[in-house]
A and B are shown apart, each in its own frame.
Chain A
Amino acid sequence: MFDTLTLASLPAADEALRPAIRALADAAAAEASADVRARSWSGFDPAFSRRLGAAGFLGLTLPKVYGGQERGPFARFVVVEELLSAGAPVAAHWIADRQSAPLILNYGSEAQRDFYIPRICRGELVFCIGMSEPGSGSDLASVRTRAERTTTGWRVNGQKIWTTNAMHGDYMIALVRTSGSSEDRHTGLSQLIIDLKAPGVTVRPIADLAGDAHFAEVFFDNVDLADDALIGNEGEGWKQVTAELAFERSGPERIYSSVVLLDAWIAHLRGVGRNDDATSALVGDFTARLATLRAMSIACTARLALGESPVTEASLVKDLGTAFEQELPVAIGDDLAAHPGEAVDAELYRTLMFVTYIAPSFSLRGGTREVLRGIIARGMGLR
């Protein structure tokens, strides 16, 4: 069962990227405190993203003709692993590089590819993904934002919410209804590329519980778009969005969200010289699971490299990975508070509390735990 998820190794040619990306990532993260580095995904630094683009670390899976590196998923794994374990700020290119560009490559017109992908590969464009709406969370097929045909293109009305990075975004790829009603479920949905600077678009950042504003609500009030805003085929938005989510659910980003905290805690243990049996056992448990999750993530990457879309396998790795990411702050908090005689510095404490507060989002974004487990159950032949 799930036999395709089997041990694979990173090709030497892709491993060879590591020193150069490490130097860039470390330089960007060197000055930052651990609680800032723990915000790697939401760290917005356009200059850094452009440096990555200039050095050839974006668009690794994309064809050279569109400005990509044509190297494949293993190369992307190495680069992403280095960025996240350093805690480098990746938000300014993350979504565009991971999801938007592959989507445009797969479903976009030649003109769309020529326009967007080279800019994404240079780290110049910030994309966001317009999926959730006030009434459409896990039940994504019920979206109500609607685009209607006009003589020149499309007119969009509606609202998206919880859109990561929308306040920084240049474009949104939005899932909208282009025909029928929400009762029609998966039919009648399409994807549009929406210029967030267009008249009628209002973006309002939403403050989060950790003191940041990493997501936003986005309103569309008679937003007129040209004909070429449609990406892919009208009515095939559901199929496209499913493929898009597969990009989000695989990859090492699903296991490393708490790794900056893990390293800060281990540095603390080494600093105070605590290595009793119980402490070692906890460190060992995390280490063994990290090693296993990393191997599972590489196994999943190997399926991507074969040109497959490993939806079930990616769900499996993500669900196990986010459980690990969420357990870390709970266990580390317990460990530190069980040793009141040890001074915990403010930086570690801030890092711990940030990860603790934001950890629930790990099993919401990109598909909730329950949705993923439903996908796995289907893969097991249940239902």
Chain B
Amino acid sequence: MSEFLEPFERMLEDVATPAAVRAIEQGGSIETMWGAFAESGFLDALVPDDRGGAGLSLADAHPLWMALGRHAVPLPVGETMIARALLKAAPEGPIALAVAEGAAAVVPCGLVTEQLLVEADGGLHLVETKGEATGVPASLAARFDLGALPAPVAPAAEGGLRGLAAILRAALIAGAAERLTQMTAAYANERVQFGKPIGRQQALQQQMAVMAEEMVAARIASQLGCAGSFPPSLVAAATAKSVASKAAARVAATAHAVHGAIGISEEHDLQLFTRRLHEWRLADGSETYWNRLLGAARLDDAGRSVDYVRSAFA
């Protein structure tokens, strides 16, 4: 696994610097950053061997997705990996993911994607379209009209695309949460108030300990999401996204609480990650969306709770 992660991480260090992330958020070209991903071959990580891909499992892809979150990558790299695995003839360029449930959807990275892969009526539809800006400053999310879709390019496993998007999102959340936890602990050791680093204050230590717990829970839940088949089961996707989404808001809150006013400023990198945590929490189903589905499935089962979760991940 680390044989893939190490070069990937190196590439991210190079191309996804905070300055590069900000430039794309301000409307700059994605060409250099996207070009690096396209050239690296990682976009075909999940494409089966016999179609010329790397044939990685979801479990293998998980650390790569977490790394994308750790670097606040402003492009739909994980989404494109999923789309290229699903489509026999995928177009070049970035592909974002959506499920047509209502007439429209807000999609992360919608402003920088070239294609949208939409699951609707049992089919996958590929739409070459630009989304409409949401008006949220620096956000790359876009709103897409899903009313009229072209003919499907492939059949869909029902719920498959949202489950896949959910486990990706959970892994991105886990990565960003990890980065925020590190940044927050480091800041607490540097920032001096009352004559000592604020990290020595028990009240802050206790908050940061809980932050670390939430971060690890999000990581393990997202690993569970990626532990099984492609696409994931309902229980796997729901566990991953429910726990990660819940952690997202809490981790962001503590990161800001510890950083104080500087963390609210644009120039500090904290916001690159906390803004994404909030956006990713809402994308592809919030915690309550997945809890409802998971709870309904659980209530159909007469067995014990421990057996239920054990057999779901056996």
Contact = CB atoms under 8 A, between A and B. Distances in A.
A112 B245 CA distance: 51
Interface stretch (B44-52, B87-95, B301-309): B301-309
B189 A280 contact: no
A54 interface: no
24 contacts: A1-B215, A266-B299, A281-B288, A282-B291, A284-B293, A284-B295, A285-B287, A288-B239, A288-B242, A290-B305, A291-B239, A292-B224, A294-B306, A296-B220, A316-B216, A319-B210, A320-B217, A373-B205, A374-B205, A377-B199, A377-B206, A382-B200, A383-B199, A383-B200
Given A266-B298, A270-B299, A380-B185, A7 B227 contact: yes
A285 B242 contact: yes
A139 B162 CA distance: 50
B16 to A, nearest CB: 20
Interface in A344-381: 370, 372-374, 376-377, 379-381
A275 B296 contact: yes
A382 B216 contact: no
B240 to A, nearest CB: 8
Interface string A240-266: 000000000000000010010011001
A336 interface: no
Interface string B184-223: 0100110000000001101001101110110111011101
Nearest to A289: B243
Given A7-B220, A288-B291, A376 B307 contact: no
B21 interface: no
A280 B210 contact: no
Most buried by A among B217, B220, B294: B220
A292 B209 contact: no
B312 A283 contact: no
Given A284-B295, A285-B291, A370 B313 contact: no
A203 B291 CA distance: 48
B178 interface: yes
A2 B292 CA distance: 31
Nearest to B217: A292
Most buried by B among A266, A281, A291, A381: A291
Given A291-B235, A382-B189, A382-B205, A373 B210 contact: yes
A159 interface: no
A183 interface: no
Given A1-B181, A292-B220, A296-B220, A263 B304 contact: yes
B306 A1 contact: no
B238 interface: yes
Nearest to A293: B217
Contacts of A166: none
Interface of A: 1-2, 5-7, 81, 85, 256, 259, 262-263, 266, 269-270, 275, 277, 279-296, 299, 316, 319-320, 370, 372-374, 376-377, 379-383
Contact of B224 (A2, A295, A381): A295
B209 A284 contact: no
Given A85-B306, A316-B212, A295 B296 contact: no
B10 interface: no
Contacts, number: 173
B305 A262 contact: yes
Contacts of B291: 280-285, 288
Main secondary structure of the interface of B (DSSP, over half): helix
A290 B310 CA distance: 10
B65 interface: no
Contact of B299 (A283, A316, A383): A283
A291 B205 contact: no
Contact of B290 (A269, A279, A288): A288
A284 B295 CA distance: 4
A288 B290 CA distance: 9
A295 B185 contact: no
A290 B292 contact: no
Contacts of B40: none
A89 to B, nearest CB: 17
Given A287-B235, A287-B309, A296-B220, 7 more contacts: A266-B299, A280-B295, A288-B242, A288-B290, A296-B217, A299-B220, A373-B210
Contacts of B246: 285
Given A296-B217, A382-B188, A288 B200 contact: no
B243 A288 contact: yes
Given A292-B221, A373-B206, A382-B200, A280 B305 contact: no
A63 to B, nearest CB: 29
Contacts of B220: 5-7, 292, 295-296, 299
Nearest to B299: A275
Nearest to A280: B295
A380 B213 CA distance: 11
B182 interface: yes
A7 B213 contact: no
A295 B185 CA distance: 25
Contacts of A280: 291-296, 299
B37 to A, nearest CB: 25
B295 A285 contact: yes
Contact of A291 (B212, B302, B312): B312
B295 A281 contact: yes
A295 B294 CA distance: 17
Contacts of B307: 85
Contact of B213 (A269, A294, A320, A381): A320
Contacts of B227: 7
Nearest to A283: B295
Contacts of B302: 270
Most buried by B among A283, A285, A370, A380: A380
Contacts of B305: 85, 259, 262-263, 266, 286-287, 290
B220 to A, nearest CB: 5
Interface string B238-253: 1100110010000000
